[in-house]
Structure 1
Amino acid sequence: MIKQLRKIFSTLVLYNEISDKSRDKYKWYMTDGGQVIGIDRKELTEKDSTLLHMFLHPYNFSIPEMTAEEKQWKTSISTEISDNTNSLTYRFIYFSYQPFQIEPESFKEAINEFYARQVPILFENDHEGIIVETNPNEDISYEQIIDVLMSDLYVKIKFVVGPYLYTLSKAKRTHQILIDGANKIFSYSDKSVSTYIDAVPFILIDQIESDTRTDIIDSVLGEAIHDQDLLKTVETFIACNLNVSVTAKELYMHRNSLQYRLDKFTEKTGIDIRQFHQAMTVLLAIYINK
C-alpha cells in the first residue's frame, strides 16, 4: 500500500525517514499494519484528507503543553544554575516506550494516576522523557506502573530511576547523565526498571578499547562463549544474587539441573561464580560480549 500511495503523493515519508524538526510540515497517518506515514500538508487537498481518513488512522505527534512547573524544570535542566541551597529534594525518572504505542497526552494522564499530585513530565520526544519526583516520601513502585500500563493500555515501558538531588545546580548535569546512561543500559540489559547505579558498568565498558574488550571476553569466558544458554544461566544466577533457589525458580529449572550448569561453566572457564568477586568479573565479560 505504501508504494501505491507514493505514486499518488510524492512527498510521502515514513516516520523514521525524517528528523523531529521536520515533522510539523507533514500530516501523519497510521496504517492497519502499524506503519506511520506522513504527507506534506501542502500536497493534501481537503478531498485527499477525507479520502485518506477512510482507510488510514490520523496520528498525532503533539506533545502536551507544559505547565508552569514543567517550564521551570525545563529551564533548570537546560541552563547552568549556581544555586547550591538545599531548598528541595527531587530526582529524575527516565521513561521510554515504543513509538506509536500511546499518545503523549494519554501517557501523561496515565502516569499521574499513580501520584498524589500532578508530577512534572518533560517529554524529549513523543515516546521518551523525564518524570520529576519532588516528594521522596511517596512510595512509588515502577514495576507496578509497568504492570498496570501493560495490562490496561498495552504499553510496554522502561524506567531508569535517578539519584535524589538536593540542589538545582546539579539538575542539568544529572539530567544529561541519566539520558546517556539509560541509552547504555537498554543496549545491554532487558530489565524494565533500572537505576543510575546499573548504568555504571556499561559506561565503563564503553570506555574500554576494542582490543581490550576482546581480551577480556576470551580470557574470562573461554570456551563458554559459544554456549548462549549457559551464559544466560550464569547471568541470571548473578542477577539473582548468587541464590540457587531463586535462580532455579526464575529459569523454571530444577535445582540439580542448575547446579550441573554452574559446574559446567566452572569446568569450561576455571572460574567459580559462586564467589562474589569472580562473579562480577564474569558478568562484566558477558556484558562486553553483548
Structure 2
Amino acid sequence: MINQLRKIYSSVKVYKDGSDDLSIDYKWFTTDKNEIIGIRNDELTSKDISLLTTFLSPYNVQFPTPTEAEKNWRKIIFSAELMEEKDWKPSNSFRFVYFSFNKNQIEPVLFKDAIEALFDKQVPILWESEHEGFIIEQQMQEEESISYEQIIDILMSDLYVKINFFVGPYKKDIADITLHYNSLTNVAKRVFLYTNKSVVTYVEAIPFILTKQTEAELRLDISKTILQEYIHDAETIKMIETFLKCNLNLSETAKVLHLHRNSLQYRLERFFDKTGIDIRQFHDAMTVSLALIARK
C-alpha cells in the first residue's frame, strides 16, 4: 500500500521510532499494520485527507495508539468491502456519542484516560481531530451507566474541560452503519449552533435536523408568521423558551422566571390574543418551538 501511495504522493515517508521526528510539515496516519506514515501538507487537499482517512487512521503524537476494537470499528464504518465480509461485529447494541471541546484544552491521551476511568473499562474512541470525535458506547445488561451530564460535571470540576456531547440512538446491528455515522456527524457538528445545552440526544435534535433541511427564506417566513410582533421581543421569547423547557408546566416556569403564576398566565393569554396561538396546547407549542429554531 505504501508503494501505491508513493505513486500519488511523492513525499510519503515511514516513521521509524527513535530515528525520525514527527514533523509538523507532514500529515501523519497509521496503517492497519500499525505503521506510521506521513505525507507533506503541501501535497494534500482537504478532499485528499477525507479520502485517506477512510482507510488510514489519523495519527498525532498526542493521540492514543489505536486499540484493536477501534481499528475494527473504523473498518466496519469506512470500508464497504470489510463490511460485506462481516469478519467482525459488535456483540451488543451500541451507540455513537459525539464529543467536542475547545482546542488545546486537554490532550487526547488524557481525555481518553479520563473517559475510561469514568466508565471503568476500555472505551473505543474514533478521533475526528485533536478536539472532537466519537465515543462508542456498548449497551451492557445489568450495568449501571454514568450519564453524560455527570461526565461533564466531573470533567469540569477535575480537569476544567468544557465539553459538549451529542448522544446518538442505540443500534442493534451494523446495517447501514456508514450512512448512520455520517448522518450523526453532520447533525452533531451543527446542533450546538442552535442550543445552549451541553448534552443533546438524537431525539431532541430532530426538530433542528428537520428545520435545517428547509431553505433560509422559508425558515425566516415561518419565524415571522408564527412569532409575528414578538419575533424581536427578547422578554417574550425568553418566557416561551423557558415554558417549553419546563414541559409546558406553568408552576415550574413561573418559578424559573421568578414570576407569580397568575402573571405568567396573563402573559401567555396575551400572546394567544395577539397571535391566535395557544402555546399551552401541545401542537401549538410544537409549532412555536420550530419557529424559534427557524428564527436562530
TM-score (norm 2): 0.73
1:118-153 deviations in Å (ceiling 9; x for gaps): 111111101111001123434221111111111111
TM superposition shift of 1:109: 0.9
Match of 1:145 among 142, 151, 155: 151
Counterpart contact for 1:62–1:104, Cα < 8 Å? yes
Q: Which moved more, 1:86-95 or 1:236-245?
A: 86-95
What is the SS of the residue equivalent to 1:169? coil
The aligned amino acid for 1:168 is: I
Q: 1:231 aligns with which of 216, 226, 237?
A: 237
Amino acid at match of 2:276: G
Equivalent residue, structure 2, for 1:162:
168
Counterpart-to-counterpart distance in 2, 1:254 and 1:110: 44
> How far does residue 169 in structure 1 lie from its aligned partner after superposition?
2.7
- Classify 1:100/1:61 alpha carbon distance in 2 versus 1 (closer, same or farther; 3 Å): farther
Q: 1:264 aligns with which of 266, 270, 280?
A: 270
Q: Within 5 A, what are the aligned runs for 1:89-128?
A: 89-128=93-132
Q: Percent identity?
A: 51
The equivalent of 1:73 in structure 2 is 73
**Paired position in structure 1 for 2:46:** none
3-state SS, counterpart of residue 118 of structure 2 = coil
Equivalents in 2 of 1:116, 1:216: separation in Å?
Answer: 47
Offset from partner CA, 1:34-72 (integer Å, 9 cap, x none): xxxxxxxxxxxxxxxxxxxxxxxxxx9722211111111
Length, aligned pairs only: 236
Superposition deviation, residue 190 in structure 1? 1.1
SS at match of 2:254: helix
CA separation of 1:61 and 1:193: change in aligned 2, threshold 3 A: farther
Question: Aligned-pair distance for 1:87?
Answer: 4.7
Give the Å deviation of 1:79.
1.9
2:207 is matched with which residue: 201, 211, 235? 201
TM-score w.r.t. structure 1 length? 0.74
Q: Which deviates further from its counterpart, 181-190 or 256-265?
A: 256-265
Shift of the alpha carbon at 1:159?
A: 0.7
Q: Does the CA contact (< 8 Å) of 1:160 and 1:194 recur in 2?
A: yes
What letter corresponds to residue 68 of structure 1 in structure 2?
A: E
**Match for residue 63 of structure 2?**
63
Q: Give the deviation of 1:260 after TM superposition.
A: 3.7
Aligned AA (2:104): F
1:171 equivalenced with 2:177 (yes/no): yes
Distance 2:254 2:157 in 1: 27
RMSD of Structure 2 on Structure 1 (CA): 2.4
Q: 2:92, 2:140 within 8 Å by CA — same for their partners in 1?
A: no
Q: Partners of 1:111 and 1:238 in 2: how far apart?
A: 32
CA distance in 1, matches of 2:113, 2:293: 36
The answer on whether the counterparts of 1:77 and 1:172 sit within 8 Å (CA) in structure 2 is yes
CA distance in 1, matches of 2:101, 2:270: 38
How far residue 252 of structure 1 moved from its aligned partner, in angstroms, is: 4.2
Of 139-148 and 266-275, deviating more is: 266-275
Please give the secondary structure, in 2, of the residue aligned with 1:191. coil
Corresponding residue number in structure 2 for 1:248: 254
Partner of 1:220: 226
2:279 aligned partner, one-letter code = I
Which digits, 9 at most, give the CA deviation of each residue in 1:176-197, with x for residues without a partner? 1111111221111111111112
- The CA deviation string for residues 260-287 of structure 1, in whole angstroms up to 9 with x for no partner, is 4323322332211000000000000000
